[in-house]
Structure 1
Amino acid sequence: MNVVMRAALAALLALAAGGCAGLGAVQRAEAQRIAEAARDTALECDDPVGRCARESPLRALASRAYAASTPDAPRHYALMLDYGQDALLARLDMIRSARESIDLQTYIFDEDDSGHLILDELLAAARRGVRVRMLVDQLSALRNVDTLAALVSTHANFELKVYNPVLGRARISYPMYVAAAACCWRQLNRRMHNKMLLVDGIVGLTGGRNYQDKYFDWDSSYNFRDRDILIGGPVTREMQANFNAFWIAPLSIPAAQLADVGRRLLRTGAPQMPHEPFEAPDRVAAVSRQADDPLLLGHRLADAVLAVGEVEFIADTPAKHRPGQRALAPSTGRLRALIESADAEVLLQTPYLVLSRPAQDMFRALHAREDGPRVVVSTNSLAATDSFITYALSYKYKRRYLREFGFNIYEYKPFPQNAPIDLDATRGLDPGWDLAMAGEADAGTRALAGIDAEHRDDARRSGPLRVAPGAGDSGPPPGQRTQQQRLPLDREYSALRYAGVGVNRPVPLRRAGLRFGLHSKSLVIDERVGVVGTHNFDPRGDNLNTESAVVIDDPAFARALAASIRNDMLPQNSWAIGPRDKAPVFPGLDYSLGKASERLPLFDLWPMRYATSYEFVPGPACPLPPPPDHPDFRACHRPVGDFPEVSIGLKPLLTRIVTAFGAGLAPIL
């Protein structure tokens, strides 16, 4: 390292250190005292038993499951939440039904409309007399220090802790992030990825969704197609025990005792709760009314509940983050055991198809079995993903996935035609758009005409933009702040939050439109066992993040989950991945050179890829799409390129550059 570089690094570390000096013991105690002294103790409810809770059909089912259960024959009710609006309604219903306690644990908690709505509901429950505990990961939750300082000071029944606060702060700036990467890389990378909402210890919810508009179909440019599972019954005791383990862990720090929050309290006392006006107040009011409508809740939620028997909650604990910890994490070990138990089929849905080496060995062994199961994978395309760099690494190993593991892969389209998404809620549709007049337009654009992700900030200021179907992706106006510049919170791969252009936002597409990306993490074994949780089936989940999932051994539930995943793989929603047509000259040499290049640790520059994307072409001989491993696959599909819908200069070259160093990032990704 030359002198200039050393000086620059020293200056950067000094700048970061100046803002991250921790509080002394006396200061921490005083900040905590200020917060506690400011907390309101008054209750807005004079019912000490029911605490003015609203009757809930979901809570009623949970109570019924507990009443019908015996130690030898537990009973549960399960509700799969595919629609974002239903997932939000379920959360509101659960919170408003609380009589004793609410425990919320999450990775991302943004301060947008959905985040503020949930905070308002949690604080209202606290003022009714309900004990509320909120545990958030440091890197991706609550962007404003004033919000944190206000929350820890607001009410005696509300407690807030931050998990694994690197540098002893609730929020870190970019220089501090770099300093943390230099001094504390191991701690920085080990995050709490668990997501849980638990009410009164009898009804719980987990799954892929964080607390941010795009997880509930409330974003006008890019939303996640995600999935949660709500459970009522005895397994919630295990969920409660797991939350308690995190709550009392040394890595979970009361927010008032962190340097930035504590200094805010010491400097000016407890602030008022900041609350920017809702960007779509009518939408917030509408969903709030719906959450109090018993007929609507019954139709959209309770009527879709399935009665199931034994349910298992698998979850990591903070012990996964102990120094020197090498044991296989409980979530990873149980998921691998389930996959290895498959006889006929493994149906896997993950947003990021990046596998750890032990996982690769497992799938290679499954494929080598004479009676090995078929493995079908639903994942993101480059056009749909929110993480460019993880897709690049997946792209690097497609030959391995298809040839050595026998995967059938389907990549989600950015404009799915019949996904479980509430289009009205997104406000991304042009109010004047007449679907009946769009007969000649592309179906994906007809259904999802909206605005491109590049225009997100402008849209938040002025409402939905009118964009013609098929309009080009021209980028933001000069001087407009883009998503990449905003350093967004929505990074599952927190180690790459501050990476460069193209990593922190979806890539530009050939046409404008309301875009969707897959975010659900689910697994079905032989259509007899269904799993919904937080684990991306990736190295981060295996080794770095703590994870959780619900396992339901029930054929009816497994079939329903499988049907949901298979719908995402339909031709109108996904492209199939298959081998490219063989090179007309020396095909064997082309394959061997590509395979050798793939194995290089630093460079992967062979221009010909083994696999590419295919679109189904229906016809008399092809009424249904054959899978990629079927002999008739090529006869019923046409190739559409490695990166369909993507519009970016020199994309193939850029992708290969990323995959070149991406191989070295596999342990992080």
Structure 2
Amino acid sequence: MTAVLRACLAALLALATSGCAGLGAVQRAEAQRIADAARDTVLECHDPVGRCARESPLRALASRAYAASTPDAPRHYALMLDYGQDALLARLDLIRGARESIDLQTYIFDEDDSGHLILDELLTAARRGVRVRMLVDQLSALRNVDTLAALVSAHANFELRVYNPVLGRARISYPMYVAAAACCWRQLNRRMHNKMLLVDGIVGLTGGRNYQDSYFDWDSSYNFRDRDILVGGPVTRDMQANFNAFWIAPLSIPAAQLSDVGRRLLRHGAPEMPHEPFAAPDRVATVSRQADDPLLLGQRLVDAVIAVGEVEFIADTPAKHRPGQRALAPSTGRLRELIESADEEVLLQTPYLVLSRPAQDMFRALHARDDGPRVVVSTNSLAATDSFITYALSYKYKRRYLREFGFNIYEYKPFPQNAPIDLDATRALDPGWGLAVTGHAQADEARALADIDAGHRDDVRRSAATATGAHAVRAVVADDRPAPGQRTQQQRLPLDREYAALRYAGLGVNRPVPLRRAGLRFGLHSKSLVIDQRVGVVGTHNFDPRGDNLNTESAVVIGDPAFARALAASIRNDMLPQNSWVIGPRDKAPVLSGVEYSLGKASEQLPLFDLWPIRYATSYEFAPGPGCPVPPPPDHPDFRDCHRPVGDFPEVNLGFKSLLTRIFTAFGAGLAPIL
């Protein structure tokens, strides 16, 4: 070991030791006492029953579902939330309508406009007399210690806990992360990925969205195309029980008892709630006003609700993180059961197409069945993804996905032309942009409907109609300037993405890659599944090794054909030619194509090294024409006649990233267990 390396390790150890020393029992008790003493007990509402709650249309639906349910015939209302603004409106409506309790559980909670808006609403509810419990994962939530200290001291009705705080802290720095990786690798990687908002125990919301501007179409440079599911009815009893299990788990620590938050309280007392001015105060005011408009809520939310019967909530518990735990997680086991039950089609949407070995074995067995179902996958392209390194590993196994599993893969474009995104809300375009592009969008919509096979045309027509409504995206090529005061994608701090921990690998491996043209970019983040147009699933599980083995996950399963068709239509809209490229086999070499294929397959099997430079598959763009009125799938004989190859990484301006792609393609297989 060189002297420089020894010195670096010694300095790192000293920093970690000095910064991570936990509080003693007496100090923890005193920090908690300071927080408790500072908590306001005054209520701004004197109605002990309704607690001055605003009438909530969504909560009212849940009450109706409970009233109509019997033990043998449960009734539910389900609302699929594709639009970011609708997802934010639903949350505001539920919080303002809460009368007894609000339970919020999440992985990421940023301190941007949307995050502070939700915090303001939660504290307002607490001051009305509503019990508010907030549970966040350590690595990606509330980055300022002052914010944490202020929240634990804010009000007697507001409680905050942090899940799995490695090193006994709420926040950790880069050196601390390295130290934690060295001493506590398994604990560091076991994260709470569940997302839930539960109001009064009767209406709940889960899905892919975290609390950050980019999940609600409020970022001016990069936003997620995501999906939530809201359910009202008896299934929320299971959701409540699951939240309670996390809340009382030994890994869920009151924030005041963590060393950094506790020291802040011990040294300086309880701080005022820090709140920088909103970057876009008029936008915050607009959505706040809309959330109190019953007509608008009816049109955008209530009218889209689907009445269903039985609903299943599947979720992991903190038991998944017990030392030595090896049993198959409940969420993973149930999802595999559903996939294996398919007779005709598995429609899967995931942002990160990286499969665990058991999942690969399952899909291989499905494909080998004589009557095996068609498997269609909607996922990210390299140009759209927020996680470069996970795409690199997915890229390594494209041959396996197509040949051995029989997947039809559609990769989301960074500039989709027909997507459920509120472009106005991003503030990425100047006023009046819609007038110049509406005609093009209408033409795109007409062409999209002609580009769908007859079996799915009705479903996609419904989806396309939804995606081109009053607040739809009709063009996405935009100036790349951020809104005043708003952070750009490059300015974001670490640990604000789904694969946040990989940011510490450096070299930008967990950031969107540079593109050939500027514009407001979108990346797929929804995690959904449709089985045979009869069962629909929306949840937090990325269908990846992290979800199988490391993260706790949850999902809502609805065995209702109407809901399944609606969910399938939404996913298929994302796979339209104007929204996605399709992956297909590369044209065979004129000579020795069999040798080339065999060498590539052999190289792919190596656990760490994959040196073969020629890939089996590439990306294709649909080329409509007289003989190609609709895009045939990649396993159709006419596929190549109706598509043109656009390269392995369309829209990407790789530069040095091209070298990184090869590096992580070659070495990425060893990272599969943590990806």
Which sits farther off after the overlay, 231-240 or 617-626? 617-626
CA contact (8 A) 2:513 2:657 kept: no
**Which one is further off, 581-590 or 250-259?**
581-590
Separation of aligned partners in 2, 1:265 and 1:643: 50
Aligned partner of 2:537 in structure 1 is 531
Contact 2:389 2:510 in 1 (8 A): no
Aligned to 1:384: 384
Relative to structure 1, the CA distance from residue 437 to residue 631 in structure 2 (aligned partners, 3 Å threshold; closer, same or farther) is closer
Deviations 1:584-606 (A, max 9, x none): 12000110111111112222121
Equivalent-residue separation in structure 2 for 1:487 and 1:48 (angstroms):
42
Alpha-carbon displacement from aligned partner over 1:289-317 (angstroms, at most 9, x marks no partner) = 00000000011000100000000000000
Tell me if the contact between 2:92 and 2:291 (Cα under 8 Å) persists in the aligned partners: yes
Could you tell me how far apart the structure 2 residues matched to 1:323 and 1:646 are? 42
Provide closer, same or farther for how the CA distance between residues 440 and 303 of structure 1 changes in structure 2, counting only shifts above 3 A: closer
**Counterpart for residue 469 of structure 2:** none
1:111 aligns with 111
Are the counterparts in 2 of residues 15 and 175 from structure 1 also a CA contact under 8 Å?
Answer: yes
Alpha-carbon separation, structure 1, partners of 2:437 and 2:172? 50
Change (3 A) 1:582 1:653: farther
> Which residue number corresponds to residue 176 of structure 2?
176
Structure 1 residue 64 displacement after superposition? 0.5
Distance 1:490 1:521 in 2: 18
Structure 1 pair 16/486, CA: closer, same or farther in 2 (3 Å)?
farther
Residue 135 of structure 1 pairs with residue 135 of structure 2: yes
- CA 484–179 in structure 1, closer or farther in 2 if over 3 Å, else same: farther
Do the aligned partners of residues 104 and 542 (structure 1) sit closer, same or farther apart at CA in structure 2, a change above 3 Å counting? same
**In 2, distance between residues paired with 1:148 and 1:291?**
27
Work out whether residues 487 and 498 of structure 1, in 8 Å CA contact, stay in contact via their aligned partners in 2. no
Structure 2 CA distance for aligned equivalents of residues 73 and 660 of structure 1: 54
Alpha-carbon separation, structure 2, partners of 1:301 and 1:563: 18
- Asked whether the equivalents of residues 224 and 525 of structure 2 are also in contact (C-alpha less than 8 Å), the reply is yes
1:189, 1:494 within 8 Å by CA — same for their partners in 2?
Answer: no
Give the match for residue 218 of structure 2.
Answer: 218
CA displacement at 1:637 relative to structure 2:
0.2
> Does the 8 A contact of 1:107 with 1:192 survive in 2?
yes
- Partner Cα distance (1:317, 1:311) in 2: 19
The Cα shift of 1:276 comes to 0.3
Counterpart of 1:519 (choices 525, 533, 547) is 525
Match of 2:561 in 1: 555
SS at match of 1:447: coil
C-alpha deviation, 1:450, in angstroms: 2.4
* Equivalent-residue separation in structure 2 for 1:514 and 1:18 (angstroms): 43
Q: For residues 355 and 484 of structure 1, what CA distance do their matches in structure 2 show? A: 29
**Cα gap change, 1:358/1:405 in structure 2, threshold over 3 Å: closer, same or farther?**
same
What are the superposed Cα offsets for residues 47-86 of structure 1, whole Å, 9 maximum, x if unpaired? 0000000111111110010001011100000000000000
Distance 1:332 1:339 in 2: 11
Counterpart position of 2:467:
none
Corresponding residue number in structure 1 for 2:550:
544
Aligned-partner residue type, residue 201 of structure 1: G
Matches within 5 A, 1:52-91: 52-91=52-91
486-495 or 628-637: which moved more?
A: 486-495
Report the counterpart of residue 364 of structure 2 in structure 1: 364
Seen in structure 2, the aligned counterparts of structure 1 residues 59 and 437 have a Cα distance that, compared at 3 Å, is: closer
Shift of the alpha carbon at 1:651?
4.2
Measured against aligned partners, the alpha-carbon deviations of 1:7-38 in whole angstroms (never above 9, x if no partner) come to 31121121122111100000000000000000
CA shift, 1:523, in A, is 0.1
1:609 aligns to what? 615
Residue 150 of structure 2 aligns with which residue?
A: 150
CA distance in 2, matches of 1:46, 1:580: 70
SS at match of 2:673: coil
1:594 partner amino acid: G
Structure 2 CA distance for aligned equivalents of residues 520 and 447 of structure 1: 21
Conserved? CA contact 1:110–1:489, under 8 Å? no
Equivalent position SS for 2:598: helix
| 1:253 partner SS | strand
What secondary structure is seen at the aligned counterpart in 2 of 1:646? coil
2:667 counterpart of 1:661: yes
SS in 2 for 1:667: helix
Aligned equivalent of 1:564: 570
Give 2:204's aligned residue: 204
Could you tell me which amino acid in structure 1 is paired with residue 530 of structure 2? V
Are the counterparts in 1 of residues 279 and 485 from structure 2 also a CA contact under 8 Å?
A: no
- 2:585 maps to 579
Whether contact under 8 Å (2:221, 2:488) holds in the other structure is: no
Aligned partners of 1:147 and 1:274 also within 8 Å: yes
1:317-355 deviation per Cα after TM superposition (whole angstroms, max 9, x unaligned):
000000000000000000000000000000000000000
Q: Does 1:447 align with 2:509?
A: no
Q: Which residue of 2 aligns with 1:647?
A: 653
For residues 270 and 659 of structure 2, the distance between their equivalents in structure 1, rounded to whole angstroms, comes to 53
d(CA) in 1 for partners of 2:438 and 2:251? 55
Shift of 1:489: 3.1
Partners of 2:404 and 2:673 lie apart in 1 by 21
In structure 2, list runs of 5 or more residues that go unmatched: 446-472
Distance 1:318 1:340 in 2: 26
Q: TM-score, normalised by structure 2?
A: 0.94
- Counterparts of 1:222-241 in structure 2, within 5 Å, are 222-241=222-241
Alpha-carbon distance in structure 2 between the residues aligned to 1:105 and 1:200: 15
Q: Residues of 1 paired with 2:551 and 2:259: CA distance?
A: 24
C-alpha distance in 1 between matches for 2:371 and 2:153: 60
Instruction: Supply the AA of the counterpart residue of 2:55.
Output: E
The one-letter code sitting in structure 2 at the alignment partner of 1:491 is R
Q: How much identity, in percent, do the aligned residues show?
A: 90
C-alpha deviation, 1:649, in angstroms: 1.1
- Structure-1 separation of matches of 2:485 and 2:271: 30
Q: Which residue identity is paired with 1:502?
A: G
C-alpha change, 1:568 and 1:434, in structure 2 (3 Å) is closer
Q: Does 1:395 align with 2:395?
A: yes
Distance across 2 between alignment mates of 1:557 and 1:65: 16
> For residues 438 and 654 of structure 1, what CA distance do their matches in structure 2 show?
39
1:446 deviates by 7.8
Shift of 1:137: 0.1
DSSP 3-state at the match of 1:448: coil
Alpha-carbon distance in structure 2 between the residues aligned to 1:296 and 1:495: 39
Give runs of aligned pairs for residues 287-302 of structure 1, distance below 5 A. Answer: 287-302=287-302
Paired letter, 2:626: P
Partner SS, residue 421 of structure 1: coil
Alignment of 1:17-32 (within 5 A): 17-32=17-32
Q: Which amino acid in structure 1 is aligned with residue 298 of structure 2? A: G
Report the AA paired with residue 495 of structure 2: L
Q: Is the 8 A contact 1:487 1:497 kept in 2?
A: no
CA positional deviation for 1:650? 4.9
Q: Work out which of the residue numbers 499, 504, 510 in structure 2 matches 1:493.
A: 499
Deviations 1:149-196 (A, max 9, x none): 000000000000000000000000001000000100000000000000
Name the SS of the counterpart of 1:346 in structure 2.
strand
The answer for the alignment partner of 1:473 in structure 2 is: none
Per the alignment, do residues 386 and 571 of structure 1 end up closer, same or farther by CA in structure 2, a change over 3 Å counting? same
Of residues 644-653 and 221-230 in structure 1, the stretch that sits farther from structure 2 once superposed is 644-653
2: CA distance, partners of 1:130 / 1:534? 27
- Tell me the secondary structure at the aligned position of residue 117 of structure 1: helix
Aligned to 1:286: 286
> Offset at 1:494?
3.5
| Matched pairs, number | 647
* Distance of 2:13 and 2:666 partners within structure 1: 29
**Does the C-alpha gap of structure 1 residues 482 and 310 become closer, same or farther in structure 2, counting only changes over 3 Å?**
closer
Contact 2:437/2:475 (8 A) holds in 1: no
- TM normalised by structure 1 equals 0.95
Provide, for residues 359-393 of structure 1, a one-character-per-residue CA deviation record: whole Å limited to 9, x for no partner.
00000000000000000000000000000000000
In the alignment, is residue 351 of structure 1 matched against residue 351 of structure 2?
yes
**1:614-629 equivalences in 2 (<5 Å):** 614-629=620-635
